[in-house]
């Protein structure tokens, strides 16, 4: 319970609020009117007055009626966990796609709560001439929300199709998606692996926009690694649905790297939360490598205990740290080994005059051996399947697979 409240406090801090007090009640079932019991509501009313609080945040999702009743009872603004996360996403969204996704989720959350969250959208949409005879302002707002939702869905569908086209152009690349609980260090890992300049901040949901970078894995191997939006316990369903276009990068990746914050005392619960979201987006059972990050924050004894527990629970995994020298070597090596398994060993014979194919071999494969004669060049190499298929169709080139794909 304390961990849940600590996480809620961090969410509030990310949204710009200052936490001045907490209250807990254990219930077998929520009160239909106030969620908490009436006696507890009286205590909460007294506490908000003593602390001069202007906002109360619940770590559960409230029904529209519960939210309205609580605000009437407490006389201050009331938010639930879902609304708080939506507010953070709106604050953090930077690209047009992310803003569209967040706005769609906000509108779908807002629509059944208009009586309490009444926002006159006419200020941005233009309400003159849009209200029918006898229609209330509430009904007008609902119609405007519905129209905006429809437009946002069309925009996101267009973006999803464009993203799908870009993915097809990268079909011959080995694609890796970083997934994990928010603030597990995915962006830091991608920044360190690629050497590129990415925004990194020690806050929940510091980045919402997916970023893809090319990562060199040595021995001529290269992967396209994508950083994705962080997951969290009770991630609002509306956000998962709205970010579907972005999360398609996860479902279609060749490998998922599940980044886990090894320094968190509740990392096992965070793993479960991430797996729930992966199941929701259709990526459950996808080839996955677990990377326990931030091991530099552990003592030697804690690190050894982590190794034993992780091996018992998950089997193969790697430990990682972006702060220690060589802290990502194990991850880079694991990615290279996974990629090598996707590259069977082949024997190729090409005419000596075919310098283009030879140059391509050294550029895009791992050449293992080479023998030159007066008429042809023979070499063995580890090569991607797409390139093997192209060479098999090329006149004058003979290809024989020596070692099948692992």
Write down the domain spans for the chain.
2-86, 93-167, 172-340, 343-403
Q: Please indicate whether the domains covering 172-340 and 343-403 agree at the CATH topology level.
A: no
Q: Give just the sign of the alpha carbon dihedral 222, 261, 288, 176.
A: negative
Q: Per CATH, is 343-403 categorized as 3.40.390?
A: no
The predicted pLDDT at position 168 comes to 62
Nearest CA to 242 out of 348, 104, 400 is that of 104
- 5 vs 276: CA distance, rounded Å: 21
Is the separation of the CB atoms in 289 and 256 below 8 Å? yes
Q: What is the DSSP letter of 31?
A: B
- 105 vs 132: CA distance, rounded Å: 27
The predicted pLDDT at position 210 comes to 74
φ, ψ dihedrals at 370, nearest 5°: -150, 135
The predicted pLDDT at position 404 comes to 59
The predicted pLDDT at position 169 comes to 58
The predicted pLDDT at position 143 comes to 86
Question: Over the stretch 144-168, which tens digit does the pLDDT of each residue have?
Answer: 889 999 999 898 888 878 776 766 6
Q: Per CATH, is 2-86 categorized as 1.10.3720.10?
A: no
- 89 vs 106: CA distance, rounded Å: 10
Nearest CA to 247 out of 162, 179, 173 is that of 179
The predicted pLDDT at position 1 comes to 56
- 244 vs 5: CA distance, rounded Å: 29
CATH architecture group of domain 172-340: 3-Layer(aba) Sandwich (3.40)
Q: Give the chain's residues under pLDDT 70.
A: 1, 115-136, 164, 166-172, 198-203, 206-209, 245-246, 403-406
Task: Find residue 260's DSSP bridge partners.
Answer: 292
- The set of residues, in sequence order, having a beta carbon less than 8 Å from that of 99 and lying 6+ positions away, is 90, 93
- The set of residues, in sequence order, having a beta carbon less than 8 Å from that of 365 and lying 6+ positions away, is 220, 343, 381, 382, 383, 384, 387
pTM for the model stands at 0.76
The predicted pLDDT at position 233 comes to 86
321 half-sphere exposure, CB direction, 13 A CA radius:
13
The predicted pLDDT at position 172 comes to 65
């Amino acid at each position: 319970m304390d961990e849940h409240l600590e996480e809620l406090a961090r969410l509030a801090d990310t949204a710009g609020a200052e936490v001045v007090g907490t209250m807990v009640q254990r219930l077998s079932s929520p009160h239909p009117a106030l969620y908490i019991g009436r006696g507890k509501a009286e205590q909460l009313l007294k506490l908000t007055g003593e602390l001069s609080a202007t906002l109360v945040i619940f770590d559960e999702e409230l029904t529209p009626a519960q939210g309205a009743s609580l605000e009437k009872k407490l006389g201050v603004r009331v938010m639930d966990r879902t609304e708080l996360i939506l507010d953070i996403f709106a604050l953090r969204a930077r690209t047009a796609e992310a803003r569209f996704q967040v706005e769609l989720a906000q509108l779908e959350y807002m629509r059944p709560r208009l009586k309490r969250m009444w926002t006159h959208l006419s200020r941005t949409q233009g309400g003159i001439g849009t209200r029918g005879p006898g229609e209330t302002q509430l009904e007008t707002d609902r119609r405007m929300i519905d129209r905006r939702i429809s437009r946002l869905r069309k925009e996101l569908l267009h973006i999803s199709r464009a993203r799908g086209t870009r993915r097809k152009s990268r079909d011959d690349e080995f694609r890796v998606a970083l997934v994990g609980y928010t603030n597990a260090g995915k962006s830091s890992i991608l920044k360190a692996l690629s050497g590129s300049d990415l925004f990194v901040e020690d806050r929940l949901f510091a980045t919402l926009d997916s970023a893809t970078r090319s990562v060199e894995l040595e021995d001529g191997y290269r992967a396209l690694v994508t950083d994705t939006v962080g997951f969290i316990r009770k991630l609002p369903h509306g956000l998962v649905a709205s970010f579907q276009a972005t999360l398609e990068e996860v479902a279609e990746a060749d490998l998922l790297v599940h980044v886990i914050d090894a320094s968190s005392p509740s990392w096992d619960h965070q793993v479960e939360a991430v797996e729930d979201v992966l199941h929701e987006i259709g990526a459950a059972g996808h080839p996955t490598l677990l990377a326990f990050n931030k091991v530099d924050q552990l003592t030697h004894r804690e690190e050894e205990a982590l190794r034993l527990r992780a091996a018992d629970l998950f089997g193969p995994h790697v430990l990682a740290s972006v702060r220690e020298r060589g802290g990502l070597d194990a991850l880079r090596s694991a990615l290279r080994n996974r990629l090598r398994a996707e590259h069977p060993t082949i024997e190729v014979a090409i005419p000596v005059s075919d310098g283009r194919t030879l140059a391509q071999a050294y550029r895009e494969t791992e050449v293992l051996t080479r023998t030159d004669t007066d008429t042809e060049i023979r070499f063995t190499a580890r090569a991607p399947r797409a390139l093997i298929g192209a060479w098999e169709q090329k006149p004058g080139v003979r290809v024989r697979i020596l070692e099948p794909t692992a």
